Amino acid sequence: MIAKTYGAALMGIDAATIHVEVNIVPGINFFLVGLPDTAVKESHQRIKASFINNDLKFPGKEITINLAPADMRKVGSFFDLPIAVGILAASKQVESDLLSDTMFIGELSLDGELRPLKGILPIAIEAKRNKFRRLILPKENAQEAFLVDGIQVLPAENLKDVVAHLNGEKSLNIERTPIPDSFKLPKSFIDFKDVKGQFSIKRAFEIAAAGGHNLLLIGPPGSGKSMLAKRMPTILPPLSVADALETTKIHSVVGNVKAGQGLIRNRPFRKPHHTISDEAQ
């Protein structure tokens, strides 16, 4: 029997929908195709152990899993949950009614726990763009995914919870934090008012911040260039929701969004060395 589920892969700071096709026939082999990297190939052992430790039956037959599109390289452990659900559906251990409009994301531990992943925000945006109704993901990533309106985010702690939800035995739900409440600016440890004196240069910073102008700082070491530049974001207007989502998406992809954290609300500040090469930058 063939079963189809849906996951996602990161492509830079964006995500792409991946179709997971599972076919079970008589035999003993396990095939995983579609340009998987090592982490994806190792999902076989994680999934099998999680089945055994959660009293689920791992089919003793030939299992072929195709990750489509087949010409796109699949990287990371995002596919553990969609592959596991596909095997369960193909072996008729879960109902398949919800699979066509649900995206699954999550790494499985050997005991079936769902571990948090980076890059959840762009994945949630991709799920909404492709008109999926639901996104099932690790509980620790829920607040990040809740930032995307128009899709039902269902956090789960383990594989057993996902199976119970798909079979109608248990509902996955969590209280979401509204964007306006999570959009309150946190207190900053630095402030532009920390700069004493230097009224002319502070006036130049205020004009640049108000008009969105570039500013070139020249001076000897210790004159306060870095201190002033680091504090300039504190006098800039607050990030809009759209800008905060874009900033959070970048932080999410590189793994800088902590579990349970919502929007990145502080304006980004980077201080590359003046001798940095184009490649390093």
Beta-bridge partners for 8: 17
pLDDT digits (tens, 9 = 90+) for 243-273: 888 888 888 898 887 766 667 788 888 888 8
Same domain? For 194 and 223 the reply is: yes
Q: Look up tokens 């079979």; give the residue.
A: 167
Is residue 267 assigned to a domain? no
pLDDT digits (tens, 9 = 90+) for 193-248: 888 888 999 999 999 999 999 999 998 988 889 889 999 998 988 888 888 888 88
Q: Check: CB of residue 23 under 8 Å from CB of residue 64.
A: yes
Q: For 211, list phi and psi in degrees, rounded to 5.
A: -100, -5
Give the end of a domain, one of 125, 157, 177. 177
Q: Give the contacts of 251 (CB within 8 A, at least 6 positions apart).
A: 257, 264
pLDDT digits (tens, 9 = 90+) for 10-27: 999 999 999 999 999 999
pLDDT on residue 131: 96
Give the end of a domain, one of 177, 200, 226. 177
Same domain? For 113 and 131 the reply is: yes
Q: Return the DSSP state at 70.
A: T
Same domain? For 9 and 115 the reply is: yes
Q: What whole-number distance in Å separates Cα of residue 223 and Cα of residue 63? A: 67
Q: Order the strands of the 134-138 sheet from edge to edge.
A: 102-104, 134-138, 152-156
Report whether pLDDT(29) > 70.
yes
CATH number of the domain to which 58 belongs: 3.30.230.10
How many separate domains does the chain show?
2
Give the end of a domain, one of 127, 143, 177. 177
Q: Check: CB of residue 24 under 8 Å from CB of residue 61.
A: yes
Same domain? For 170 and 196 the reply is: no
**pLDDT > 90: what percent of the chain?**
64
Report whether pLDDT(65) > 60.
yes
pLDDT on residue 179: 54
pTM: 0.82
Give the containing element (helix H, strand E) for 80. helix 80-90
Same domain? For 211 and 231 the reply is: yes
Is residue 259 assigned to a domain? no
Q: Give the range of the structural domain holding residue 198, as residue numbers without chain letter.
A: 186-237
Supply 61's token pair. Answer: 């037959």
Supply 129's token pair. Answer: 């763009």
Confidence of residue 153 (pLDDT cuts 50, 70, 90): very high
Same domain? For 93 and 229 the reply is: no
Is residue 36 assigned to a domain? yes
Same domain? For 119 and 194 the reply is: no
Same domain? For 198 and 154 the reply is: no
